[in-house]
Amino acid sequence: MHSFLQSSNDLLRQRGYRLTPQRHMILSVIQEAEEHLSIDQIMERVQQLNPYVSLSTVYRTIELLKSVGLIRESHLPGEQPLYETAEGHAHHHLVCRRCRATFHLNEELLGNLNEQLQKQYHFHGLSLELVAAGYCDVCWKKIQQELAQEQELSQE
């Protein structure tokens, strides 16, 4: 069993749960993904493995895995919630508003902001998840071209 799945199994057992075949399958699908996954994407991949797993099972499992800290739910601008394994403390994204390209940012970019917030506002167990939205270079150039074309048409 992969070390992440083994540690997940250990954590679930500590919390009084079992790593059932369905939980294992759903966690594996999320862990093996090269991207953030929506519920629909998780469901599609799980049903390729076992068509008898229901949507309600996927939803219940997602909620359980979130509550024990094994997966993370991200709310990116204009998107349905997306899921990925929760490995690491801080988690930051840079999202293109046009093409939706999403990049993980290095947690060192924000320095010790987490500690500063805990100290200044007396928060405990703080997790920091930043979403920065803008336009990637390719989309920015397309937007500039479209604006130039609109201006040319309006001058005619």
As a whole number of angstroms, the distance between CA 51 and CA 43 comes to 9
Q: Looking at the chain, list the stretches that DSSP marks H as alpha helix, in order from N- to C-terminal side.
A: 3-14, 21-32, 39-49, 55-67, 113-121, 137-155
Q: Are 36 and 83 in contact (CB under 8 A)?
A: yes
Q: Is 136 annotated as a binding residue?
A: yes
70 assigned to a ligand binding site: no
96 is in an annotated binding site: yes
Q: Which two tokens stand for residue 12?
A: 């679930």
Residue type at 122 in one-letter notation = H
Q: Is 117 annotated as a binding residue?
A: no
Cite the annotated binding site by residue number.
Answer: 96, 99, 136, 139
Cite the annotated binding site for Zn(2+) by residue number.
Answer: 96, 99, 136, 139
